[in-house]
Structure 1
Amino acid sequence: MRRTTSPFSLLCVGLGTFLLVLAGLLAWYVEPRAERTPIDTDTTTVFTGNGSYFDTEEIETVDDQRITITRQVRGDVAESERSGRAVWDVTTSVDTAASLPAADPHDALQWTLERWVTDRRTNRPVHCCGEQPAFEGEAYLKFPFHVEKRTYTWWDNTLGATVPLRFSGTARVQGYEGYRFTGTVAPARTGSRLVPGRLVGRPKQSQVLAEEWYANHGVELVVDPLTGRVLNAAIGPRKTLRAPGSAKDAVVLLDSERIAFTPATQRAQVALAEDDNDRLTLLGTVLPIGAGGLGALLVVAGTVLVVRGRGGRGEPEGQTRPDPDTSPTTLETSTM
């Protein structure tokens, strides 16, 4: 009996096995490692809203003014690759209509430069690489991957502490659905500032070390559930000065019920989230299912062909099967 396994059947089995292994690698190795905070980010988000601020030229608080917050995030690629962390440099500018556009950041109502360092997988803060300021919590510029419907600790850089943000259902941003998280910040002292005494109700004192206080009417973040990218953000900051030991605000430095992402910023954030989701879905679902399904079919088909080939029979070349009717049944004998 001769085995007649065809090369095609072996090819099917081999290719099918390769695709099954590839499907597993994509689903359990490649896709989880693709869920990493990017290091080459370069994005600008803009918040706008109306509110009050202290006009240093008028020496008084002016109301119902346009306020713009511009935040630019740039990844330090070289430092990120060296450390294995996500190292981002963040500049934030708070401007009025008079200071936009600001050629010099010192013309802004407020300007800060910060360096944020996080674990690329968990989004937790990592205290290295020139981090400034040191921060804590689970979320700030983004949330972790695979956002859960629970309370997260959000870092408020003005407060210098974490704030609990509760899951408050879902919301749509530019037609894209995300998880909504909300919270508030009760008034808290955040520092001190030397000001003329008359500014805080102490006219007999030329200079007073006034207390700086901060609160937030409401923080609302809408987040992409898979990537943790912030699709929309709205805040209600209130910054004031108080006389030393006083329980009453004397001067309003900044106050707004709501400053939120502009429609253009929302669209840009949604587009980035959609691109991230498409890439992760391709690596984690579409390609593994396709490769696994095709691989299984090829292995089954190849195995069937192998079994059939091994079950075939063939005759040795140049030989014929003896005819039972003409085969001798007795021994020939000779007579003496």
Structure 2
Amino acid sequence: MRYCAPTDAWGGIGTWSSWEGHTVRKNIGIVVIGLSGFLLLIGLLTVAWAPGKLEKTPLDVDSVTRLEGTVAKVDSSTGELGETQPVLATSITKIDSNASDDDVAVWTSTSCVVIDEDDPADCLEGTDPRLVTASTDVFATDRVTGLAVAGDRYLPAGASSGEGLRNKWPFDAEKRTYPYWDGTLGAAVEATYDREETIEGVQTYVYLVEISDADAEISEGLQGTYSSVKEIFVEPITGSILNQTDDQQRYLADGTQVLDLQLAFTPEQIEAGAADTKDNIAGLNLITRTVPMIGFIGGAVLLLLGLFLATRGGTPPASRTRATRREPVGVK
């Protein structure tokens, strides 16, 4: 006895299940294509939008920068330079968010240099013999380039932002010369790229500022000459200053030296600044590099997969060639 499995009316086994499988694959493919479009859109948005929004000075900056070094200043009783003593310097820098806007940051900066004797405060009264220098400044800078912005729109009466860079470099700093503001001279000077150097695992560009025997107001109401050699260590992606050294001398008009000052960021300041900068770089790289890469590569892969699934195999049953119906084989 023989038995043949009955065929369907179209002469094939499982024809409908094959077509249904194709339909499921096609629907999944459409969904995958839609997901690929979403990823590609995310990639485009982060490339076109994120740098302009993220590569700006934030408006919540309220920082304290600490430096240390040595100083020798003129002894008023002898008229000669006194002994060298340890000094501490503190710079408090804060953005006025109410005066700032989407393009410009308005800053208030207070700086003091004091002799490190008897546990001094960050800044001292003008009559305190331990006070070396003290200054307060209000200025405005472009939130992208870091360059000074002039105009009464941002500054109080009598304030001047001056020229050049003030307290940071632009994002994506280059190996070139930048104008840099010198408060003692009241003018911008050249900050020339000198070399690369690694600080606490962070690669920096080092810029050199050299001033020699320039006429200046060396103290309030007192004219003389001023010399300075500064090295400014800048992390180029964020424009953050991770260290700054200053070797500075001031002289009276008759050539008498009244100040010999050396300063640099404290080790603790350098370590904290490097850690913050690493975090900032990681955040920028995530948004401006990693996310676009995931969007473009992942979107392209999903697009190809979706097209493959949506177009692979399967033909509607109605389009198949109708087979001749056969009678079941009976029992012989």
Asked if structure 2 preserves the Cα contact closer than 8 Å seen for 1:68 and 1:94, the reply is: yes
Write the letter of the residue equivalent to 1:34.
L
Asked if structure 2 preserves the Cα contact closer than 8 Å seen for 1:4 and 1:312, the reply is: no
Q: Equivalents in 1 of 2:325, 2:219: separation in Å?
A: 118
Aligned to 2:160: 133
Change (3 A) 1:76 1:58: farther
Verify: 1:63 aligned to 2:83, yes or no: yes
Q: Equivalents in 2 of 1:267, 1:114: separation in Å?
A: 27
Write the letter of the residue equivalent to 2:148.
P
Aligned to 1:329: none
Q: CA deviation at 1:223?
A: 0.7
Aligned to 2:97: 77
Alignment map for 1:217-236 (pairs within 5 Å): 218-236=229-247
Q: Equivalents in 2 of 1:174, 1:323: separation in Å?
A: 83
The normalised TM-score by structure 1 is 0.80
Aligned to 2:147: 124
Q: Equivalents in 1 of 2:222, 2:185: separation in Å?
A: 17
Corresponding pairs, count: 299
Verify: 1:272 aligned to 2:298, yes or no: no
Q: Equivalents in 2 of 1:274, 1:320: separation in Å?
A: 68
Q: CA deviation at 1:322?
A: 6.1
Partner SS state of residue 63, structure 1 = coil
Change (3 A) 1:13 1:52: same
Write the letter of the residue equivalent to 2:305.
A
Write the letter of the residue equivalent to 1:297.
V
Match of 1:88 among 97, 102, 107: 107
Match of 2:315 among 312, 315, 326: 312
Asked if structure 2 preserves the Cα contact closer than 8 Å seen for 1:235 and 1:259, the reply is: yes
Q: Please, which runs of 5 or more residues in structure 2 have no aligned partner?
A: 1-18, 328-332
Q: CA deviation at 1:103?
A: 6.3
Q: Equivalents in 2 of 1:56, 1:98: separation in Å?
A: 19
Q: Equivalents in 2 of 1:291, 1:48: separation in Å?
A: 47
Q: Equivalents in 2 of 1:275, 1:136: separation in Å?
A: 30
Q: Equivalents in 2 of 1:51, 1:103: separation in Å?
A: 16
Partner SS state of residue 109, structure 1 = strand
Alignment map for 1:115-264 (pairs within 5 Å): 115-128=138-151, 129-130=154-155, 132-137=159-164, 139-191=165-217, 211-216=223-228, 218-242=229-253, 248-250=254-256, 252-256=257-261, 258-264=262-268
Change (3 A) 1:103 1:220: closer
Match of 1:97 among 97, 103, 116: 116
Q: Equivalents in 2 of 1:265, 1:87: separation in Å?
A: 24
Q: Equivalents in 1 of 2:233, 2:44: separation in Å?
A: 33
The normalised TM-score by structure 2 is 0.81
Q: CA deviation at 1:186?
A: 1.2
Deviation string 1:303-331 (CA, Å, 9 cap, x unpaired) is 1111126x522139xx99363999xxxxx
Q: Please, which runs of 5 or more residues in structure 1 have no aligned partner?
A: 195-208, 243-247, 327-336
Q: CA deviation at 1:145?
A: 0.9
Alignment map for 1:107-122 (pairs within 5 Å): 107=128, 108-122=131-145
Write the letter of the residue equivalent to 2:135.
T
Partner SS state of residue 317, structure 2 = coil
Change (3 A) 1:8 1:109: same
Verify: 1:48 aligned to 2:52, yes or no: no
Write the letter of the residue equivalent to 1:88.
W
Q: Equivalents in 2 of 1:148, 1:222: separation in Å?
A: 13
Q: Equivalents in 2 of 1:85, 1:58: separation in Å?
A: 48
Change (3 A) 1:57 1:37: farther
117-126 or 90-99: bigger deviation = 90-99
Q: Equivalents in 1 of 2:212, 2:323: separation in Å?
A: 104
Q: Equivalents in 2 of 1:254, 1:234: separation in Å?
A: 16
Deviation string 1:89-125 (CA, Å, 9 cap, x unpaired) is 1100011124822564434322111112111112121
Write the letter of the residue equivalent to 1:10.
I
